[in-house]
Amino acid sequence: MLRIVVCIALATAFFACGRQDEWLPPQDRQVPHLPAIPYDYTNVVLPEHFLEPALGFFEYVPASNTTTDEGATLGRVLFYDKLLSASGTVSCASCHRQPSGFADPKPGSKGHAGGITPRNASHLVNLRYNFQLFWDLRANGLENQVLVPVQDVLEMGLTLDQLIERVSNAAYYPALFESAFGDPAVSADRIARALSQFIRSIISFQTRYDQGVANGFSDFTASETLGMQLFYNGITRCNQCHMTHNFYSPDAFNNGLDTVYADAGLGALTGEPADMGKFKVPSLRNVALSAPYMHDGRFATLEEVIAHYNGGVQPHPFLDERLTAEMETGGTPYALGLTADEQTALVDFLKTLTDEGLVSDVRFSDPFTGQ
Ligand code: HEC
Ligand code: HEC
């Protein structure tokens, strides 16, 4: 009763009684350090093979939110700003780390109040080629996805009103919103658009594999060449799910991790038996940086992943046909029987997909450091 009375009294001063944002930024909070002329996020010349029809078909850049250098710059600041979490301790980048290819090196990520996420944080590379996001594909389009973690009670724990209030009150944002959108008004829609522009500009296309596509793989080692042949040889069927030069699929599949899934992925969402254990096929670009692997981060190394495909695939009733001996959904898991050298070769090939430049690219780095 007393609480209600106090609340009503306070409500005269604060219109959102009980939902007041109690966390205030420390006085000595860092400010972002930005270049006088924004970095170039827009004049990116993609190699020829990135213009393949399959990638173009799945590319999703809404006409209402094409990327500008100023928009992506604002997105970069928001991405690294701990103001975006209730306790002020977590930013998007706390779980999506640049040195790890924008993934988290831990199987579960620590949220704003210390809780651990049940799933492994996805990497954020080449998401411009994805419309459906999250491991269970539950979000459509980045603009709709990026405000989900902000409002997630475990991850960042803010309401949209609190988010807008905090961003509006930080001294460095008005000028950034003005540059990006023409006036300093802060809205959830603008925050979502800027974050999406930033994430869409994280494109990875400068790897030894990409050089190889251009020069006929002339500098691949014998093991890398063998690994590439195995990846594409129709026996491992790796490339039938990890497709295109982005090594991914816009669909979700069951790759036989368990006979009964604790987390049913797409199936938990749709309730359809045939969707049980289906998860997004992440791009394998930078996969050597983004350990641990799978939706729950169960495999610590690429060697463990290959061992899974080689002989550890489980007989799930809806195991994807490509991982079965009979090529029938739910069939007998296909034991690849690769030699130790062949398994190493597959790992060596996957390592050619690492884009060293991306992890040190200043355009995607933390603007709050170095102050
Ligand atoms: C506490 C850790 C944490 C924070 C903070 C966090 N994320 Fe995530 N993020 C995750 C996890 C875990 C997943 C996978 C969740 C799932 O699929 O159910 C994920 C998934 C994503 C995806 C989907 C990628 C894909 O390939 O489908 C995007 C995009 C994303 N996060 C962007 C962001 C942005 C933008 C922010 C900041 C506004 C943010 N995240 C903050 C942990 C975090
Ligand atoms: C039936 C489709 C399918 C086939 C065939 C397949 N994969 Fe996968 N792959 C997936 C799915 C789905 C996931 C994510 C599963 C999950 O997290 O629950 C995945 C995950 C991975 C990952 C972990 C990625 C990450 O970021 O966590 C690697 C590495 C990988 N696969 C490599 C391979 C290799 C190498 C082959 C061939 C030996 C192969 N895959 C064959 C569907 C497939």
Q: Which ligand is nearest to the CA of 110?
A: 1
Residues 272, 278, 284: CA angle, nearest 5 degrees: 160
Q: What is the pLDDT of residue 22?
A: 59
> Is the Cβ–Cβ distance between 100 and 107 less than 8 Å?
no
Q: Is 240 in the pocket of ligand 2 (CB under 6 A)?
A: yes
From CA 123, how far away is CA 143, in angstroms rounded? 17
Residues 176, 191, 56: CA angle, nearest 5 degrees: 105
Taking the centre of ligand 1 as the mean of its atom positions, its distance from the CA of residue 222, in whole angstroms, is: 37
> Is the Cβ–Cβ distance between 285 and 126 less than 8 Å?
yes
From CA 225, how far away is CA 126, in angstroms rounded? 24
Please determine, for residue 331, whether its predicted confidence score (pLDDT) is greater than 80: yes
Q: Which ligand is nearest to the CA of 156?
A: 1
* Residue whose token pair is 């969707």: 275
- Supply 137's token pair: 């594909």
Could you tell me the CA-to-CA distances from 350 to 45, 119, 164, 239, 287 in Å, in that order? 24, 23, 42, 12, 7
Q: What is the pLDDT of residue 28?
A: 55
CA nearest ligand 2 atom 13, residue? 281
Q: Is 257 in the pocket of ligand 2 (CB under 6 A)?
A: yes
Task: Enumerate residues 6+ apart whose C-beta is below 8 A from 165.
Answer: 21
Name the residue of 241, 244, 328, 344 to mutate for ligand 2: max ligand atoms within 8 A of Cβ.
Answer: 241
Taking the centre of ligand 1 as the mean of its atom positions, its distance from the CA of residue 277, in whole angstroms, is: 20
Task: Enumerate residues 6+ apart whose C-beta is below 8 A from 260.
Answer: none
pLDDT tens per residue across span 269-280: 999 999 999 999
pLDDT tens per residue across span 158-198: 999 999 999 999 999 999 999 999 999 999 999 999 999 99
Please determine, for residue 23, whether its predicted confidence score (pLDDT) is greater than 80: no
- 188-210: average pLDDT: 98
Taking the centre of ligand 2 as the mean of its atom positions, its distance from the CA of residue 293, in whole angstroms, is: 9
Burial of residue 288, with CB atoms counted within 10 A of its CB: 0-12 exposed, 13-18 middle, 19 or more buried: middle
Q: How confident is the model at residue 369 (pLDDT cuts 50, 70, 90)?
A: confident
Q: Which ligand is nearest to the CA of 235?
A: 2
Q: What is the pLDDT of residue 13?
A: 42
Residues 82, 163, 42: CA angle, nearest 5 degrees: 70
Name the residue of 74, 83, 84, 96 to mutate for ligand 1: max ligand atoms within 8 A of Cβ.
Answer: 96
